[in-house]
Structure 1
Amino acid sequence: MILLQTILAFMVALGTLVVIHELGHYTVARLCGVKVLRFSVGMGKVVFSRRFGPDQTEWAISALPLGGYVKLLDAREQDIGSLSEQELKREFCRQSVWKRIAILAAGPLANFLLAIVLFSGLYFHGVPEPVSKIQVSSEQSPAYVAGLRAGDLVTSVNNVPVLGWSDLRWKLMELALEKAPASLGVKRANRDRAGTYDQLTLSLPLDQLSSKDLEADFLSKLGMSISLPKATLAEVMPGGAGMKAGLKPGDVILQAGGKNLADAQQFTGMVRASAGQTLDLLVKRGVDELNIDAVPDVVEENGTKIGRLQVAMTGPEMQLIQTPLWQSVGRGTQKTWDTSIMTFKMLGKMLTGEVSWKNITGPITIADYAGQTSRTGAISYISFIALISISLGVMNLLPIPLLDGGHLLYYSLEVLTGKPVSERFGEIAQRAGAALLMTLMALAFFNDIVRLVS
């Protein structure tokens, strides 16, 4: 059932993005007066088609469901010798270079526009998000040395307001890529006056982070993590080790194995390390404190035996991020812009060797994420589609022959030189582009398989 949901979620996401991309090309081509012969979802042999409209455009579904295309009236691909003068005026190559640029750019721009619409809709609807309250791992960590303490609420980064945990992480990653310091606005509870807070400004250096750190959980390298509440049980699964021990929802675990617990994460770590062993717990239930002995079940995970009590813990403190429509559109546009720029920067760092090529993902990984986000909920799945739409737009703008960006490069050279690129140069570039794309696809599949196996 999970596999079926993953496949369905992937096909819906991919189909949506392909249709939107090609509709961009189709719409602008029609506006520019170019005749559209076929609109295909999928590549390869046409398996189903119908013709509609005054031009009898063929709307088709093709055999290979990874992509799509719009086929225009084009002298480079069709014999146009028998066409009337009126029809020849609608041929792609006879259009001005600016019309050709507009038609080619419309596909990626449609993907960016889709991302803006989706993000704007999410912000207008409201997105549940953990608050930007932090936990600091140790006194030796860069975060602690910078002055950050457990429970601090980060309210701004370089004077830009922080709206939640993911927003904080994103802003710090952007600065870390540039190895720029981060000035954090921090709200800290005043220990001497209950209910009051101090406003602080702290400088967090990020130049010590390596490119490899950015590929993983870079915040942990700084000694920062999301602040979790006390180890409080939200749910106790029937028949599990927790229920057998007498644990109940609402219990707060104060100690485990004689050690005071800072948060739920520490408790989870101790349970995992105590497979099949008795773990003595000090539990607060209402106003009472109880001693309970629990024996975590032995479960095998990735070849390692771990302990599980079959209980669910309460998560981090949450907030609903919701903005008026006009602000939502602005935020959606900014999010799309920032993500696009970040993607280009990461690609640039791959070319210079600063970031590993292991970050290139293919359809297997994308399908896996599609399945995971669809199971999490509509908000996560819509956010996933928006991010993949941005990635598709960026990829198609790369100056690689066969992609929209490669053709845009040709037409840009035509604008500069006043004459089109020679056919011989175009043929050589097309072959080189095909070889490069095949190499990138092979690398993406290889990375997918490695991730799947590991």
Structure 2
Amino acid sequence: MNLLHTLLAFAVALGTLIVVHELGHYWMARLCGVKVLRFSVGMGRVIFSRRFGPDQTEWALSVLPLGGYVQMLDAREQDVSRLSSTDLRREFTGQSVWRRIAIVAAGPLANFVLAILLLAGLYMHGVPDPLPKLRQVAEQSVAYQAGLRGGELITAVNGHPVQNWTELRGQLLPLVLDKSTARLDTSRVNSGSGGGNILDTYSLSLASLTVEDLETDFLGKLGLVLARPPATLGKIAPGPAERAGLQSGDLILDIDGRRIVDGLALLELVRASPGKKLQIHGLRDEREFSSDLVPDTVVENGVEIGRIKVELPMAPEMTTISDAPIPALSKAVQKTWNTSFLTVKMLGKMLVGQVSWKNITGPITIADYAGQTARIGVVSYLSFIAFISISLGVMNLLPIPVLDGGHLLYYSLEILTGRPVSERFSNIAQRAGMGLLLMLMLVAAFNDIVRLAFS
């Protein structure tokens, strides 16, 4: 059932992105007066088609689902010798170079527009996300050396406001690539008699991280870990916790003299103590209590762990921010630009060997993410489609022959030289581009298989 769900989510996402991309080409071609002969979702042999519209355009579904195309009236592909002068004026190669550029660029542009609209809609609806509040900071970490100790709420990075954990990660990501220093503005509750908030600024060096760290939890490697709720016990099932006299609502303060900062710390300590006697100290109805607790020993994935059969709150403190239409649109445009710029930067670092080619993903990984986000909910799924749409727009603008970016490169050369590139040069470049594209597809497929085998 999960496989079917994943395939369906992948098909909907991919189909949407292909249709939007090709509609960009189609609408711009029509706007420029170029006749469109076929609009195909998929490549290869046509398995279903219908003709309609003023030009009787063939709307088709083809056998290979990974792609699509818009076939225009083109003297390089069709015999135009018998066409009327009216139809000849609607032939693609006879258009000005600026119109051809507009038609080719409209596909990637449509992907960017789709991403902006989806993100703007999500920002208006409100996206639940954890507050950028820090858990206790580990000693010897970069964050600890910067002065952070835990409990701080990060409010800005280098003067740019952050409202949730995703925004914090997004602000730090490009700074990691530049190995620069991040200035973190923070706020924390003053536990002293004066109350109020304490405002501080910390300088966090990112020079210790490598680009490969971006493939993992790079925030955790810096010592920035999401705060979790206190270790307050929830529902207690028959087992070690019940035998120790623990009750729902108990707040665990320390175990064997070791401070328990949150529910995650309690879980980690219990899992690491199978069959070991633990001295519990906590609060119950604002009164201190102590108890002895011996976790059961269970085997999980071949490893012995401790378990006490009690529910623990693990969900971080969340925030949902809903923006008005204009701020949401502005935020979506900025997010699309930043993501596009970061994608190009990562590709550039791949070319010079600073970033591993393991970061290239193919349809298997994309399908997996489509299924995962769809199971989480509509908000996550639409966010996934938006970011894949951005990636598709960027990839299609790369100056590789057979992609839109390759054609834009040809037309740029035509503007510079005053004449179109030769057919011989175009054919050689097309073959080279196809070879490069095939190589990238093989790398992506290999990475997908490796991830699947070792996940």
1:309-340 Cα distance to aligned partner (Å, 9 max, x none): 47453311111111111100000111111000
Change (3 A) 1:234 1:411: farther
Counterpart Cα distance in 2 of 1:277 and 1:379: 44
What SS class does the counterpart of residue 18 from structure 1 fall into?
Answer: helix
TM-score (normalizing by structure 2): 0.92
The aligned counterpart of 2:102 is 102
Counterpart Cα distance in 1 of 2:99 and 2:243: 72
Supply the AA of the counterpart residue of 2:315. Answer: G
The aligned counterpart of 1:264 is 263
Counterpart Cα distance in 1 of 2:376 and 2:279: 34
Pair 1:131-2:134 in alignment? no
Counterpart Cα distance in 2 of 1:255 and 1:105: 61
**C-alpha displacement at 1:66, in angstroms?**
1.2
The aligned counterpart of 2:383 is 383
1:40-61 Cα distance to aligned partner (Å, 9 max, x none): 1111111111111011111111
What SS class does the counterpart of residue 354 from structure 1 fall into?
Answer: coil
What's the Cα RMSD here?
2.4
The aligned counterpart of 1:48 is 48
Higher mean C-alpha displacement, 391-400 vs 214-223: 214-223
Supply the AA of the counterpart residue of 2:446. Answer: F
Contact kept? 1:233, 1:314, Cα under 8 Å: no
1:57-206 residue pairs with structure 2 within 5 A?
Answer: 57-206=57-206
Higher mean C-alpha displacement, 439-448 vs 199-208: 199-208
Supply the AA of the counterpart residue of 1:23. Answer: L
Higher mean C-alpha displacement, 13-22 vs 179-188: 179-188
Contact kept? 1:136, 1:144, Cα under 8 Å: no
Contact kept? 1:271, 1:296, Cα under 8 Å: no
Change (3 A) 1:305 1:31: farther
1:20-59 residue pairs with structure 2 within 5 A?
Answer: 20-59=20-59
Pair 1:409-2:385 in alignment? no
Contact kept? 2:136, 2:261, Cα under 8 Å: no
Contact kept? 1:241, 1:297, Cα under 8 Å: no
Pair 1:208-2:208 in alignment? yes
The aligned counterpart of 2:431 is 431
The aligned counterpart of 2:342 is 342
**C-alpha displacement at 1:137, in angstroms?**
3.1
Higher mean C-alpha displacement, 403-412 vs 372-381: 372-381
Counterpart Cα distance in 2 of 1:29 and 1:16: 20
Counterpart Cα distance in 1 of 2:310 and 2:435: 51
Identity of aligned residues (%): 60
Counterpart Cα distance in 2 of 1:9 and 1:140: 43
Change (3 A) 1:413 1:186: same
Supply the AA of the counterpart residue of 2:325. Answer: L
Counterpart Cα distance in 2 of 1:249 and 1:39: 62
The aligned counterpart of 2:314 is 314
1:253-292 residue pairs with structure 2 within 5 A?
Answer: 253-256=252-255, 259-274=258-273, 284=283, 286-287=285-286, 289=289, 291=291
Contact kept? 2:279, 2:290, Cα under 8 Å: no
Change (3 A) 1:429 1:265: same
Counterpart Cα distance in 1 of 2:441 and 2:216: 23
The aligned counterpart of 1:5 is 5
Counterpart Cα distance in 1 of 2:390 and 2:80: 37
Structure 1: gaps of 5 or more residues: none
Aligned residues: 452
TM-score (normalizing by structure 1): 0.93
Supply the AA of the counterpart residue of 1:197. Answer: N
Counterpart Cα distance in 1 of 2:238 and 2:363: 39
The aligned counterpart of 2:224 is 224
Counterpart Cα distance in 2 of 1:382 and 1:247: 43
What SS class does the counterpart of residue 69 from structure 1 fall into?
Answer: strand
Higher mean C-alpha displacement, 412-421 vs 279-288: 279-288
Contact kept? 2:50, 2:59, Cα under 8 Å: yes
Supply the AA of the counterpart residue of 2:131. Answer: V
Counterpart Cα distance in 1 of 2:46 and 2:435: 25
Change (3 A) 1:58 1:241: farther
Counterpart Cα distance in 2 of 1:275 and 1:65: 52
Change (3 A) 1:229 1:426: same
Higher mean C-alpha displacement, 221-230 vs 347-356: 221-230
Supply the AA of the counterpart residue of 2:24. Answer: G
Contact kept? 2:137, 2:148, Cα under 8 Å: no
Contact kept? 2:124, 2:322, Cα under 8 Å: yes
1:165-185 Cα distance to aligned partner (Å, 9 max, x none): 111111111112112211111
Contact kept? 1:46, 1:60, Cα under 8 Å: yes
Pair 1:422-2:448 in alignment? no
